[in-house]
């Protein structure tokens, strides 16, 4: 099925899996709002997509999903919610909101980085889900839609290289599953699914030899050899299945190079 005329938001869209998710959504006719805190890379990716798909179907907004409340000097010092403003601006400019992909995520396990991992992966995804529900629920003036939260196989299987990372991804899975069991969400036309990929060829994985990012990278390399490394495009096809299949809510789709796609059940 096509997503022609639908409007999507993808966080962490400047590179890697997020960029591939934007591409498959654009290829299938959607308009896409790219969100990323890396402004330079975000603008570069935006220019690529404008060239490929035209200027009116894509926009970029700089936003750090872990830092929604920021002080603004506009009209006196006040706290503004930049994350909320970002989603609202995209809905306004692209003419609606139907698809939210909460993808922004990082690794970082050390004393000075683990809290950032929790803030971005957990708080960023929860807040993105809340905003998606707020703007898409029929009882709040929306037209319904779908949220896909990007977890990881590391949120299902124990991950000796990244206990904090694994905990954040488990949190994403159970947060999303819990919402999917609330009939209120379906009654208001919103589906919520989880994508749980194994390794894909992105900057996150390339940085894995860095012991500032993870524990025991040698173990990760052994697991990686066993499960293989996917292209971002392969992962994007799985993502699109969760977006496109109107019957899918509460689904957890695992995908790995060696084992392919499999729906996980508890």
Ligand X SMILES: NC(=O)C1=CN([C@@H]2O[C@H](COP(=O)(O)OP(=O)(O)OC[C@H]3O[C@@H](n4cnc5c(N)ncnc54)[C@H](O)[C@@H]3O)[C@@H](O)[C@H]2O)C=CC1
Ligand Y SMILES: CCC(=O)/C=C/C=C\C[C@@H](O)/C=C/C=C/C=C\[C@@H](O)CCCC(=O)O
Asked whether position 152 contacts ligand Y by CB under 6 A, the answer is: yes
Asked whether position 118 contacts ligand Y by CB under 6 A, the answer is: no
Answer for the pair 98, 6: CB distance below 8 angstroms, yes or no.
Answer: yes
Nearer to ligand Y, 145 or 197 (CB): 197
Asked whether position 198 contacts ligand Y by CB under 6 A, the answer is: yes
Among 19, 109, 171, 239, binds ligand Y (CB under 6 A): 109
Tokens of 231: 């292209």
| Residue 161 contact, options ligand X, ligand Y, none, Cβ 5-8 Å cut-off depending on partner type | ligand Y
Among 117, 129, 193, 202, binds ligand X (CB under 6 A): 202
The one catalytic residue among 165, 175, 263, 266: 165
Among 165, 175, 179, 240, binds ligand Y (CB under 6 A): 165
Answer for the pair 173, 156: CB distance below 8 angstroms, yes or no.
Answer: yes
Work out the angle at residue 15's Cα, subtended by the Cα atoms of residues 13 and 217, and round it to the nearest 5 degrees: 120
Among 6, 8, 10, 15, binds ligand X (CB under 6 A): 15
CA distance to 20, 109, 161, per residue, from 208 (Å): 20, 12, 10
In the residue annotation, 74 being an active-site residue is answered as no
Backbone angles phi, psi at 31, to 5 degrees: -95, 140
Spatial separation of the C-alpha atoms in residues 14 and 42, rounded to whole Å: 4
Residue spans of alpha helices (H) in 28-158: 39-53, 82-94, 114-118, 124-136
Spatial separation of the C-alpha atoms in residues 26 and 8, rounded to whole Å: 9
Tokens of 61: 């907004």
3-class DSSP assignment, residue 10: strand
| Residue 130 contact, options ligand Y, ligand X, none, Cβ 5-8 Å cut-off depending on partner type | none
Asked whether position 49 contacts ligand X by CB under 6 A, the answer is: no
Answer for the pair 140, 97: CB distance below 8 angstroms, yes or no.
Answer: no
Nearer to ligand X, 53 or 60 (CB): 60
Under the rule (CB under 6 A), what is the footprint of ligand Y?
107, 109, 152-154, 157, 159, 161-162, 165, 198-199, 204-205, 208, 213-214, 223, 226-227
List residues with catalytic annotation: 165
Under the rule (CB under 6 A), what is the footprint of ligand X?
11-12, 14-18, 36-38, 64-66, 103-106, 120, 124, 150, 152, 197, 199-200, 202-205
């Amino acid at each position: 099925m096509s997503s022609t005329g639908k409007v999507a938001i993808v966080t962490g869209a400047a590179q890697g899996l997020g960029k591939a998710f934007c591409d498959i959504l654009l290829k299938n006719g959607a308009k896409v709002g790219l969100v990323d805190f890396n402004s330079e890379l975000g603008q570069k990716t935006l220019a690529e997509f404008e060239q490929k798909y035209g200027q009116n179907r894509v926009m970029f907004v700089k936003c750090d999903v872990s830092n929604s409340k920021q002080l603004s000097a506009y009209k006196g010092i006040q706290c503004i919610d930049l994350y909320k403003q970002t989603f609202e601006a995209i809905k306004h400019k692209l003419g609606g909101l139907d698809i939210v992909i909460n993808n922004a995520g990082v690794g970082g396990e050390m004393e000075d980085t683990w809290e950032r991992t929790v803030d971005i992966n957990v708080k960023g995804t929860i807040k993105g889900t809340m905003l998606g529900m707020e703007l898409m629920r029929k009882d709040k003036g929306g037209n319904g839609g779908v949220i896909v939260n990007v977890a990881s196989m590391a949120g299902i299987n124990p991950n000796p290289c990244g206990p904090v990372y694994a905990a954040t991804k488990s949190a994403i899975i159970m947060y999303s599953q819990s919402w999917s069991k609330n009939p209120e969400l379906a009654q208001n036309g919103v589906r919520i699914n989880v994508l749980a990929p194994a390794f894909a060829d992105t900057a996150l994985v390339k940085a894995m030899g860095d012991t500032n990012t993870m524990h025991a990278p040698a173990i990760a390399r052994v697991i990686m050899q066993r499960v293989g490394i996917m292209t971002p495009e392969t992962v994007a096809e799985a993502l699109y299945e969760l977006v496109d299949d109107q019957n899918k809510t509460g689904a957890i789709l695992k995908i790995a190079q060696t084992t392919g796609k499999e729906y996980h059940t508890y």
